[in-house]
Amino acid sequence: MGANAKVAIVTGAGSGIGKAAALALLGDGYRVVLAGRRREPLEEVKAASAAGDAALVLPTDVRSPESVRALFDGAVQAFGRVDVLFNNAGVSAQGVALEDLPLEQWQNVVDINLTGMFLCIQQAFRVMKSQTPRGGRIINNGSISATTPRPNSIAYTATKHAVKGMTKTAALDGRKHDIAVGQIDVGNAATEMAMRMATGVPQANGEIAVEPLMDVNIVGQSVLYMANLPLEANVLFHTVMATKMPFVGRG
């Protein structure tokens, strides 16, 4: 175990941003609970980290209150406390015109991106306010879709806008418990979900354009930076993005 013995839970840890953040935290000496729906990718992340018993695999469905409770109970049982939650699990719906989006897909995105994130925040509060030393940090994955939509993304964008309100409210409600809550908004990290950017994606003006991508490990380091702040300080919103992507201004 490294010098940093803090405990973190990472949801959606089996791939993409969650994987990068989990590896960054483990590399810094954290004990990390790897949560996600499928065990195999989580085991692969644990093996890649070479962190041994500092990494704990706990398959979790964030849509289920019972599953989320079991995640936090398992973390406390194994490591004694929870210092950091990276609330990262999320999905998108198919990129179709909003009037053609099936209700089932809308509901699935809401269940995971919004309700699932709420359930994790709620359970984190319950654990963090009652442990000794008291408190902890929650980092929500907002995405730049928390402020700015892409075409044909109503379910994803609506939930990520809602995450922004959830972050602000939880940051306010966490003060009395020494719980700091912030949000990371990521633009165009090179993950499985974002690789379509490299071949061209719809733009606001109707064109299809290739967009620049950045190394996802940069995002992992951003999460680590936020996690390592003392609880007297909080990054409420942190945007990390591919420098030349079409986001700022009008393109």
What's the full length of the chain, in residues? Answer: 251
How high is the pLDDT of residue 204? 86
| Catalytic choice (156, 164, 174, 180) | 156
How high is the pLDDT of residue 1? 44
How high is the pLDDT of residue 67? 98
Which among 137, 223, 146, 140 has a CA at the least distance from the CA of 174? 137
- For the chain, what are the domain ranges? 7-241
As averages over each run of 10 residues, the pLDDT of the chain (251 residues) reads 78 97 98 98 98 98 98 98 97 93 97 98 98 98 94 96 98 98 93 78 87 92 98 98 90 74
Beta bridge partners of 139: 86, 182
Structural element, H or E, at residue 44: helix 39-49
Sign of torsion over alpha carbons 11, 13, 19, 23: positive
Strands of 136-141's sheet in order across: 55-59, 31-36, 7-11, 84-87, 136-141, 179-187, 237-241
How high is the pLDDT of residue 4? 62
- In words, the CATH class of domain 7-241 is alpha beta
- Active site (annotated) includes residue 156: yes
